[in-house]
Amino acid sequence: MMNASDSSKDWADGVHELFKTHQVDIVSFVPDGGLRRLIALCQADPGMHAVTLTTEQEGIALAAGAFLGGKRAALLMQSSGVGNCVNMLSLPRVCNMAFLSLITMRGEWGEFNPWQIPMGQSTPTVLEACGVFVYRVDTTEDVVPTVEAALLLAFQSRRRVAVLLSQKLLGAKNFARGDK
C-alpha cells in the first residue's frame, strides 16, 4: 500500500515533455528510485544530456555553467542531498541565475529509516533560507502543473525554484520488500 505505484509513469512522462517544451537541455541527478522513470526518459532522449553526479552540489555548478552558456538545466535529487548543497546554493543566488531542482522527499510519510527524518523535516526551511522558492506536490495530478509553474518562474524570472515531490506521492521505501 505504501510503495510507489505505476502512477509515476504518467507524471514522469509529463515532466519529461515539459523539459523538452521548455528547452531543458541538461538534466543532472544522483540516482534515486522515486525519479527512476524520469531519469530513464531523460537518458534515452537524444536531445538531452543526462549527467550522473557523484554528489548533489555538482549539479548546482553544472546548472550554473549551463546558464552561463545559454542552456537550461534541472537537478534531480533526494531530500537527503539538500544538506550537501547549502554552500553551493549561494552561487545561483548571488549571481542571480535561474535554477530548477526536483527533489524527492524522505523522512516523512511512512519512513522506515530514522536517519532520513532530520533532513526531510529541514529541507523546505533550508532551501528557503538559501533563497530558493519551494513548491510541494502531494498528488499525481499536481506534479505536471507544479513543475511547469516552477520552470516558468525559474527561467523567466531568473529565480531559484525547487519542487518537492512528497513521500506520500512517491510511496515510502521499504528495504525489507526490496525497494531501492
Q: How many helices (H) and strands (E) does the chain have?
A: 7, 6
Q: Give the per-residue pLDDT at 112.
A: 86
Residue 2 has pLDDT above 60, yes or no: no
Residue 143 lies in a domain: yes
pLDDT band per the 50, 70, 90 thresholds, residue 4: very low
Q: What does the pLDDT look like over 95-150, one tens digit per residue?
A: 999 999 999 999 888 888 888 888 889 999 999 999 999 999 999 999 999 999 99
Residue 72 lies in a domain: yes
CATH of the domain at 137: 3.40.50.970
Which residue range(s) make up the domain with 133?
7-170
d(CA 161, CA 174): 29
Q: What does the pLDDT look like over 160-179, one tens digit per residue?
A: 999 999 999 988 766 665 55
d(CA 101, CA 119): 16
> What does the pLDDT average to over 74-85?
96
Number of domains in the chain: 1
Residue 13 lies in a domain: yes
Residue 152 lies in a domain: yes
Residue 180 lies in a domain: no
pLDDT band per the 50, 70, 90 thresholds, residue 30: very high
Measuring CA to CA, which residue among 1, 39, 62, 15 is closest to residue 163? 15
Residue 178 lies in a domain: no
